[in-house]
Amino acid sequence: MADHITISPATASWVVRAGGAVLGESTNALILHEGDRDPVVYFPRDDIAMTFLDATDHSTNCPFKGTASYFSIVNRSATLENAVWSYETPKDDVARIAGYLAFDTSVVTVEEV
């Protein structure tokens, strides 16, 4: 694994909310630490209300994790463009996050409960 990335199981329950609505809660989340960046909580898809997410054409590439695909969150009051990402086929060193979802915490709330 890239020596500046660690992935560990979350030790508590985590919830993600957008516009006050709960999108999901999980006791099976993963925490990814990358260098000096804030940790990122990755949620299993089975724990997220996927009906609120719309896949977009947007993608980004990380030299350590691979190509991320994006989703927008769609609810009654707004569409949060590209607020969710997932590494469908990440690089081998971070394979544990394959198919998990991470959320842009500047537009949604991700918190330990």
* CB distance 100 to 86 below 8 Å: yes
Q: Around Cβ 78, how many Cβ atoms within 10 Å?
A: 12
Structure confidence at residue 77 (pLDDT) = 83
CATH number of the domain located at residue range(s) 5-112 in this protein: 2.170.150.40
Provide mean pLDDT across the span 98-112.
Answer: 97
Provide mean pLDDT across the span 8-12.
Answer: 95
Domain boundaries, the chain: 5-112
Q: Which residues sit opposite 17 in a β-bridge?
A: 22, 109
Is 1's pLDDT higher than 60? no
> Position of tokens 């544990």?
96
Provide mean pLDDT across the span 33-54.
Answer: 96
Provide mean pLDDT across the span 58-67.
Answer: 97
Is 22's pLDDT higher than 60? yes
